[in-house]
Amino acid sequence: MLVFLFEQLLNGVQFGLMLFLLAAGLTLVFGIMNMINLAHGSLYMIGAYLVATLTLKTDSFLFGLIGGVALTAAIGVVLEMSLLRRLYDKDHLTQVLVTFGIILIANQAVQEIWGAQPIMTSMPPSLSESVPLVGSFDYPVFRLFIIVVGLLIAALLALLITKTRVGMWIRAGAADREMARAMGANINLVFSLVFGLGAALCAIAGGLLGPLLSINVGMGESILILAFVVVVIGGIGSVQGALAGAVLVGVVDALGRALIPMALRSLPDQGLADSLASTLSAVSIYLLMALVLYWRPQGLFSR
Partner 1 sequence: MKSHSHIAWALLAVLLIAFPAMAQAFGGSFYVGFATRVLILALAATSLRLLVGELALVSFGHAAFFGTGAFVVAILSKELTAPVGLLPGTDSAWIAWPIAVMVSALLAVVIGMISLRTKGAYFIMITLAFAQMTFYLFESLKMYGGDEGINMAHRSRLGFGLDTGDNVTFYYVVLATVVLVNLLFRFLIRSPLGRVMKGIKENETRMQALGYRTYRYKLMVFAIAGAAAGLSGALLANQNSYASPSLFSWLQSGNLLIMVILGGSVNFWGGAVGAIVFCVLEEVLPHLTRFWQIAMGVLVILVVMRVPEGLTGLRWRVRVPQVGQRRSSSEVGNG
User: Which one, 103 or 203, has the nearer CB to partner 1?
Assistant: 103
Measured CA to CA, the distance from residue 43 to residue 82 in angstroms comes to 15
**Binding to partner 1, residues 178-197 (CB under 8 A):** none
Measured CA to CA, the distance from residue 102 to residue 64 in angstroms comes to 25
Contacting residue, 135, 184, 268, 297, with partner 1 by CB under 8 A: 297
User: Which one, 30 or 169, has the nearer CB to partner 1?
Assistant: 30
* Amino acid in the structure at residue 207: G
User: Which one, 136 or 295, has the nearer CB to partner 1?
Assistant: 295
Our finding on whether 236 is near partner 1 (CB under 8 A) is yes
Build a one-symbol-per-residue string for 77-106: x at contacts with partner 1 by CB under 8 A, - elsewhere. Answer: ------x--x-----xxx-xxx-xxxxxx-
Our finding on whether 113 is near partner 1 (CB under 8 A) is no
The neighbour count for residue 168, using CB atoms within 10 Å, is 15
Task: Name the E strands within the chain.
Answer: 130-134, 137-140
What DSSP character marks residue 264? H
Contacting residue, 128, 164, 188, 298, with partner 1 by CB under 8 A: 298
Residue 276 CB, nearest approach to partner 1 (Å): 9
Q: Taking a C-beta distance cutoff of 8 angstroms, is the pair 172, 179 a contact?
A: yes
Q: Taking a C-beta distance cutoff of 8 angstroms, is the pair 257, 12 a contact?
A: no
Q: How many CA atoms lie within 13 A of 270 on its CB side?
A: 0
Give residues in contact with partner 1 (CB under 8 A): 30, 36, 83, 86, 92-94, 96-98, 100-105, 107-109, 112, 221-222, 225, 228-229, 231-232, 236, 275, 278-279, 282-283, 286-287, 289-290, 293-294, 297-298
